[in-house]
Amino acid sequence: MKNPLIGSAPSRRSVLMGMSAGAGALAFPGFIQAQSSAPVKLGFQLHRTGIGAAYGRWYERTTQAALKVLNEAGGINGRPVEIVFEDDGTDPRRGSEVVEKLASQHGCDAIFGPLFSHVVIGSAPRAGELKVPYLVCSEGFHVASGLNRWTLQPGITDVKAQVRAMAPWVAANLGKKVTMVFPDYAFGYDHRDAFSEAIKEQGGEVVAMIAIPPTETSFTRYLPQIPADTEVLYHVMVGPAVLTFVKELGEFYGTGARPQIFGFIDSLEAVDLASPGLEFLEGSHFWEGHCRVKQADATEHETFYRAAVGVDDNGASVSDKRDVSTYAHMFSTWETLFVLKAGMEAAGYQGVADRQKLVEAIEAMTTMPLSREHPQGDKVFNGKTHQVFGHQFISKVEGGKLMRVHIAAIEDGMYPDAVDYSTMSF
């Protein structure tokens, strides 16, 4: 017998290869695990400072609450979820840096969370370049009018849908000659364009448009521009000076004659309706994306959500009555996180290589029923425009509380598609 063992014995080369592979596996234990139980890492682009800070504070709390619920129920695909919060200062330039940092440095599977439209518009191109799913919790018409295929808005309706749903009620109940007061940037222009078009369809008209820079701190000087024959004053303001705006509006009209006032709750998000100087709002109306004051017919999901986030029946923090939430908007971060979960599970998401599959899975979504995951209400998602549609609420200030007087149907806010993302390349 000549060297009988040579043929069946492992060659030196294969032994070396096996050894190096084993050593490699020992050196990077996380790597072999990545496919199975390593956490899903999501990035949250947060307005922690700057003019969006009040929203940011509550967006973070809501997301933390949603994350807790999500992880307690087993995470995504059985994997725990981790969220990296990164402050963008409500600044578009820093916004794109945050996207870069979350995607490249932290290696997040997807990014979500930004609200202010100028930040979204400034950040979305970077998300597109980095090919990372970017789920915004904004309201601008920019997603449905075309950014890039990686940008989606599955958690909150856009301004165009909101105002289209409101316009018939405003025209029928308050008046047809409308003066608009809005912030002088993208979000305000969406209001200006979409509402003036919608009110025209109702046989009304916008008699004056007053655009105010979002950094303005004094407003009385703008108010005389409101024409005397105005029947409805439509206001939507954002940023740190919103309370000042509403107070000055009250001082300006005083006890004299005044038009009907219809506001977007943005003008008073995170502001206590019982603040001194706001008494004049009694009897005026607000749009709400989600009713701040717990209504008599609140669903069990709504009750669960309110408790999880730590908000009392008046919409303030349970630990501090003066800390009023941004209730009409913050549900969007909760719902977006659960859309991410549903999308990742539908796509069989494993890692960053599956990012495109995740976008395609969300695009394939259609209806989102009222549930713990969608406490604001049922929704319809349009995969072509990446935009979700839902119910809108009109509330009246009665005894210093916002009481709902109208629920707009999902169809009320729908409009023809302006873009088809599903035909675009990734």
Q: Which residues bind other proteins (CB under 8 A)?
A: 48-51, 53-54, 56-57, 213, 216-218, 220-221, 223-224, 228, 240-241, 243-244, 248, 251-256, 270, 275-277
Distance CA 156, CA 333 (A): 9
Task: Specify the residue for token string 């709902």.
Answer: 404
- Smallest distance from the beta carbon of 355 to other proteins, in angstroms? 32
- Smallest distance from the beta carbon of 114 to other proteins, in angstroms? 16
Least Cα distance to 196 among 174, 183, 184, 178 occurs for 178
Distance CA 181, CA 246 (A): 11
- Smallest distance from the beta carbon of 134 to other proteins, in angstroms? 24
Helix (H) or strand (E) holding 45: strand 40-46
- Smallest distance from the beta carbon of 135 to other proteins, in angstroms? 24
- Smallest distance from the beta carbon of 142 to other proteins, in angstroms? 24
| Residue whose CB is less far from other proteins, 12 or 322 | 322
| Residue whose CB is less far from other proteins, 278 or 340 | 278
| Residue whose CB is less far from other proteins, 92 or 413 | 92
| Residue whose CB is less far from other proteins, 253 or 415 | 253
Q: Which two tokens stand for residue 250?
A: 């009250």
Distance CA 155, CA 340 (A): 10
| Residue whose CB is less far from other proteins, 54 or 273 | 54
Which residues on adjacent β-strands are paired with residue 367?
380
Residue type, 188: G
What strands, in cross-sheet order, belong to the sheet with 367-368? Answer: 367-368, 379-382, 387-390
Distance CA 336, CA 392 (A): 18
Q: Answer yes or no: are the C-beta atoms of 62 and 129 closer than 8 Å.
A: no
- Smallest distance from the beta carbon of 183 to other proteins, in angstroms? 14
| Residue whose CB is less far from other proteins, 251 or 300 | 251
| Residue whose CB is less far from other proteins, 280 or 305 | 280
Q: What is the phi-psi region of residue 76: left when phi exceeds 0, alpha when psi lies from -120 to 50, beta otherwise?
A: beta
Q: Which two tokens stand for residue 87?
A: 């402050």
Number of Cβ within a 10 Å radius of residue 11: 10
- Smallest distance from the beta carbon of 252 to other proteins, in angstroms? 5
- Smallest distance from the beta carbon of 58 to other proteins, in angstroms? 11
| CB-based contacts of 310-316 (< 8 A; 24+ apart in sequence) | 310/61, 310/65, 314/401, 316/272
Q: How far is CA 267 from CA 66, 326, 388, 390, 419, in A?
A: 26, 11, 23, 21, 30
| Residue whose CB is less far from other proteins, 56 or 188 | 56
Distance CA 305, CA 292 (A): 12
Distance CA 140, CA 120 (A): 9
- Smallest distance from the beta carbon of 230 to other proteins, in angstroms? 12
| Residue whose CB is less far from other proteins, 256 or 399 | 256
